[in-house]
Amino acid sequence: MKGKFVVWIVGIGLITALTVAAGLDSIIQVMASMDPFLLMGFLTFMCAFQMITISLTAYQWFHLMRSEVPSLRFKDVLRIHLAGGFVESVTPSSKLGGEAAKVYLFRKRTGIGYNRITSYMLAHKYFSLLPFLFLCLLLISVASFTYHVPGIVLVSFGFLTILMAALVLLIHRRPTDRDPVTGRMPRLGPALCYVRKAACEVRGLTDARDRLLLFSLSFMVWGLYPVKIYLTAMVLGVELGLGLVVMATFAAYLVSMLPLTPGGLGTFEGSMALILSVNGVPFAAGVAIAFTARLFIFWFPLMVSAIAAMSVMGYIEGRKTDPSSSETDGA
């Protein structure tokens, strides 16, 4: 519990430091450049836009699981996806936080064994993060010739690459594969054995058509994020080139995936403001763009996911007290 307070203090401290460094008056001046009613209308539209993104991501879960659980409804998947997102947003995540919560909640909703649900979770991460890593690789390769890319972005890219390489290796390496050096079967701890067994099942969850759909949805989801930042800059009256917007958006998400603060609080805003400022954008304008965008990218989903988490937990508690409800273990 103490550690959770520490990471929140770090995140809030980073936000405070950004505000002081940019100057609160300067940030307010940028954000007040448009009519307040127009700003509220824009934020309302972007919140709806963000819900579309969240729904597309939830649909990937639904598509993966619906053949095995025909009774599963999309609205149930969306609620569980949001509830897991709440845990992810309040803990340092690397986009992996909250997955244990989703495994638990899907287990309670479907009755499928934990190992099988973990397979779906690993498949979802595989199909959602691999396109992001590819886009980041392409972006860094091209952007380094045009824009200044801070070292923290490269460190974050290396961190995510290691995580994804481990996941790909787990999924595509057969359980009977021997160590290429010693020729012996690898000795794994219970936790790693559990994850590896679940990873081996991932290959059988999808066919070529499923993979095309899931990868396409991920490219669409990630492709929408620079659009949100570009629209935010536009309504605030800050002129940004599309290339810089794309680079700043993906670089900020890369840095926010480092498990330092809840939901990348402070690290996303700071890295975006830094990248924009070292490429010619006034620092206060960069902070204003990041703060405004996070209203509908982070804070709005956090509020919605908190409501979803309470709803899901209420549903589960109701099933526990209902003597007619029963679950198969399936583990």
Q: What residue segments make up the domains of the chain, in order of their start?
A: 2-320
Mean pLDDT of all residues in 95-109: 79
- Per-residue pLDDT at 180: 52
Per-residue confidence at 316, pLDDT binned at 50, 70, 90?
Answer: low
- Per-residue pLDDT at 212: 96
Longest dimension (CA), the chain: 69
Residues 6+ apart with CB under 8 A from 157: 136, 137, 140, 254
Per-residue confidence at 39, pLDDT binned at 50, 70, 90?
Answer: confident
pLDDT, tens digit, 9 for 90 and up, residues 209-256: 999 999 999 999 999 999 999 999 999 989 998 899 999 999 999 998
- Per-residue pLDDT at 225: 95
In single-letter form, the type of residue at position 48 comes to A
Higher pLDDT, 203 or 165: 165
Q: Is the pLDDT of residue 321 over 70?
A: no
Per-residue confidence at 296, pLDDT binned at 50, 70, 90?
Answer: very high
On average, the pLDDT of the chain sits at 84
Q: Which residues of 80-111 are buried (b: 16+ CB within 10 A; e: fewer)?
A: bbbbbbbbbbbbbbbbbbbbebbbbbbbbbbe
Per-residue confidence at 330, pLDDT binned at 50, 70, 90?
Answer: very low
Q: Is the pLDDT of residue 168 over 90?
A: no
- Per-residue pLDDT at 186: 52
Distance between CA atoms of 103 and 107, rounded to whole angstroms? 6
Q: Is the pLDDT of residue 192 over 80?
A: no
